[in-house]
Chains A and B, each alone.
Chain A
């Protein structure tokens, strides 16, 4: 680990790998398994070099059996280890839904508190790469629906570097949704980088006219929109949810109490998506704070198409966030 006080430049992928390496080196109970995490180096090269460093027992390539290896992660967690399971992308996580929803999320409760499942599941996700409907899903909201799970969506280098340690310290199952589009993004990370807290949303850009709530793959467009709005004289505050379950309603409402206008943006379909939950909570707890109708931006309700122009039209964009914020401000 870099112990100097100098900030470093690195990619999300490297930040995530550092987190993995530190976890594997720091606790012999930790191991990593999933499809192509070892010899291939990870489908997105996140775990490159870890097999060579930690060996085949602790960096385990699995068959294409999502239900079995996620379930095996649950069993291994019950058995006193700290598994990190990678599902290659969220699109294949549907094949492990039974294990995640029926076992990981329920075992503590169904056993009357006798068991706990200290499992971390890393799930690369995100549309926008012209991969068509079956490889472009945004489904973290499904998982955030389920009590017993913690659902995280790192959107900054600091979170990419520090969330894993915090997730491993959680005695219950944690799903980490990693944005594929962010893996190659380079930035500065303050050093030394330590674990980060999981429970609080973060105000990534302060502002006074409108609150823009985003997370994961929509934080960058939200920040870009805020910069564009600023040049037009609109001061947007950008809140990064960071964790979808448990949802930090207080930080969102605190921001809305300052700006009195709310735009929520995520990549999910609007119907029943994570943004809907944010809006519902604001309506329940802070309706009086709102001076304008809430703006909710999500994917157009179609299976995400292949052609560039169609996919772009289906997904949230900087332009849509800017327009929505301007409508809200009036």
Chain B
């Protein structure tokens, strides 16, 4: 992928995510969003690069830091904001909030807030495709923290053993909440460890959206063609704290600044500009379009009715036996 349209599309996706997350900070400060809020500012190249490499009927399993993944998958901003506002038009009808965004139609299977908890589910989605002989792939996104969990290791082994079409996308932002990679992993080369299960693995610059897209496309093609699971270590960084509750006392300011200098939005914008594919007017136009999209989504979400309390016990089980619970 090196065409202007595709790279511009990646830039547009990243900008939509960046500005959306920034608006979420304001909305959180204003009290419109509550609960946990984990932002992906700085990690937009992963969301844009990975999701753009998938086909519409591929599946996505994500984590609690998933706004970017959801937007890059095509979920409307309004359905995310309405969810965080507890509205009836929220993608999960107010049951999930920021950490549990779902869109069955787009095969976006959440928003899992237990670290590594979504990984076995992704293996199962791929198993179903295999059993039903469907040429689909499941992309499973998780953080570096998940690599310390047993579910990660069990799942990689199972996917490799059964040769299932899963693309494991490790969004390595170097911190499991406040614990640095080297403080929780004896071996910090995550691709090396994944490779020990017989999974084709490689590390990618997660600040470069084009590189992420190309690596993911290769992994997806491999998995779809029957080559078994692949593992991508996408080396990235979150510019903001872990969550809105995090005072971020465990990172050096200099380290944050060094990574900010590699801002994935500005890196791609700069490269497009250098190639003569993006000028100031086009950038301004893009920013304005994104701003309008967010404004409209916020307005629509705010205007939507609250999910009614009368419906509290809906969606627990399908069958409502007269014997009660």
Residues of chain A within 8 A of B314, CB atoms compared: 113
Known: A63-B154, A63-B161, A98-B114. A79 touches B315 (CB 8 A): no
Cβ contacts B151-168/A at 8 Å (1 or 0 each) = 100110110011000000
- Are A75 and B317 touching (Cβ within 8 A)? no
Task: Report Cα–Cα, A74/B121, bound state, in Å.
Answer: 6
Specify which of B61, B120, B319 lies most central, judged by the most chain A CB atoms within 10 Å of its CB: B120
Q: Is A65's CB under 8 angstroms from B154's CB? A: yes
Contact A72 B323 (CB under 8 A): no
Interface residues of B in 50-82 (CB under 8 A from A): 59, 61
How far apart are the CA atoms of A69 and B154 in the complex, in Å? Answer: 8
A31 near B131 (CB under 8 angstroms)?
Answer: yes
Interface residues of A in 13-57 (CB under 8 A from B): 29, 31, 57
Assembly CA distance A305 to B250 (angstroms): 48
Among the stretches B20-28, B99-107, B171-179, B289-297, the one at the interface with A is B99-107
Give the distance to chain B from A134, nearest Cβ to Cβ, in Å: 18
Residue contact A108 to B317, C-beta cutoff 8 Å: yes
Check if A218 is an interface residue, CB within 8 A of chain B: no
Residues A98 and B102 in contact, CB atoms below 8 Å apart: no
B95 engages A247 (CB within 8 Å): no
CB contacts (< 8 Å) of A116 on chain B: these are 318
- What residues of chain A lie closer than 8 Å to B265, measured between beta carbons? none
Interchain CB contact under 8 A, A68 and B112 = no
CB-based contact B100/A111 at 8 Å: yes
In this assembly, does B198 line the interface, its C-beta being within 8 Å of a C-beta of chain A? no
**How near does chain B come to A170, taking the closest CB pair, in angstroms?**
7
Measured between beta carbons, the chain A residues less than 8 angstroms from B95 are: 109-112
Whether B323 contacts A70 by the Cβ 8 Å rule is: no
B90 neighbours in A (Cβ, 8 Å): 112
Q: Is A286 an interface residue (CB 8 A)?
A: no
Docked-complex contact A172 and B315, CB < 8 angstroms: no
Most chain B CB within 10 A, of A60, A71, A99, is at A71
How many A-B residue contacts, CB cutoff 8 Å? Answer: 174
- Whether, in the assembled complex, A185 has its beta carbon less than 8 Å from a beta carbon of chain B, the answer is no
A58-86: which have CB < 8 Å to B?
58, 60, 62-63, 65, 67-81, 83
Beta-carbon contacts under 8 Å, B79-136 to A: 90-96, 100, 102-104, 109-112, 114, 117-129, 131-132
CA distance A62 to B126 in the complex (A): 15
Complex contact B93–A75 (CB within 8 A): no
Contact B93 A112 (CB under 8 A): yes
A303 at the interface (CB under 8 A from B): no
> Are B103 and A114 in contact, with the CB atoms below 8 A?
yes
Interface: A91 (CB within 8 A): no
Asked if A172 and B317 make an inter-chain contact with CB atoms under 8 angstroms apart, the answer reads yes
Best-surrounded residue of A102, A109, A116, A172 (most CB of chain B within 10 A): A109
Q: Are A78 and B109 in contact (CB under 8 A)?
A: yes
Q: Do A150 and B317 touch across chains, with their CB atoms under 8 A apart?
A: yes
In the complex, whether A206 has a CB less than 8 A from a CB of chain B is no
Taking a contact as CB atoms under 8 Å apart, the answer to whether A170 and B319 are in contact is yes
List residues 94-133 of chain A with CB under 8 A from any CB of chain B: 98-99, 102-103, 107-116
B104 interface neighbour in A29, A67, A109, A111, Cβ under 8 Å: A111
The CA-CA distance from A155 to B240 in the complex, in Å, is 56
- A67's partner among B151, B321, B324 (CB-CB below 8 A) is B151
Given contacts A110-B96, A114-B102, contact A79 B110 (CB under 8 A): no
Closest Cβ neighbor of A169 among chain B residues:
B319
Q: Are B321 and A246 in contact (CB under 8 A)?
A: yes
Residue B325 is within 8 A (CB to CB) of chain A in the complex = yes
Tell me the smallest distance from the CB of B313 to a CB of chain A, in Å: 8
Q: Is the CB of A75 within 8 A of B123?
A: yes
Q: A77-B124, A79-B132, A81-B131 are in contact. Are A108 and B316 (CB under 8 A)?
A: yes
Complex CA–CA separation, A267 to B208 (angstroms): 59
User: How far is B104's CA from A111's CA once the two chains are assembled, in angstroms?
Assistant: 8
Residue ID in chain A nearest B151 by CB atoms: A67
Contacts of B100 in A (CB 8 A): 110-111
A31, A72, A109: the one within 8 Å of B315 (CB): A109
Q: A74-B124, A109-B315 given as contacts; is B104 within 8 A of A114 (CB)?
A: yes
In the complex the two chains form, is A71's CB within 8 Å of B316's CB?
no
The answer, yes or no, to whether B31 is at the interface (CB within 8 Å) is no
B112 partner residues in chain A, CB cutoff 8 A: 102-103
Chain B residues within 8 Å of A249, by CB: 323-324
Residues of B with C-beta under 8 A to A68: 119-120, 123, 151, 154-155, 157-158
A208-249 Cβ-contact flags toward B at 8 Å (1 or 0): 000000000000000000000000000000000000011111
Complex interface: chain A residues within 8 A of B321 (CB): 199, 246
Across the interface, B121 reaches (CB within 8 A) one of A31, A60, A71, A245, namely A71
Chain A residues with CB under 8 A of B131: 29, 31, 57-58, 76, 81
Q: Write out the residue numbers on chain B whose beta carbons fall within 8 Å of the beta carbon of A245.
A: 325
Tell me the minimal C-beta distance from A201 to chain B in angstroms: 8
Which of A67, A80, A148, A251 contacts B316 (CB under 8 A)?
Answer: A148
**Contact in complex: A75, B124 (CB < 8 Å):** yes
Q: Indicate which residue in A60, A79, A170 contacts B59 across the interface (CB closer than 8 Å).
A: A79
B299 to chain A, nearest CB (A): 22
Known contacts A67-B154, A98-B114, A171-B319; 8 additional CB pairs below 8 A are: A63-B161, A65-B157, A74-B121, A79-B128, A109-B95, A110-B95, A110-B100, A172-B318
Nearest 10 Cβ contacts at the A-B interface: A75-B124, A71-B120, A79-B128, A112-B93, A68-B154, A65-B154, A72-B124, A111-B102, A113-B315, A75-B121
Q: Which A residues are closer than 8 A to B by beta carbons?
A: 29, 31, 57-58, 60, 62-63, 65, 67-81, 83, 98-99, 102-103, 107-116, 147-148, 150, 170-172, 199-200, 245-251
* Interchain Cβ contacts under 8 Å between A and B, 6 examples: A75-B61, A75-B120, A103-B121, A110-B95, A111-B96, A247-B325
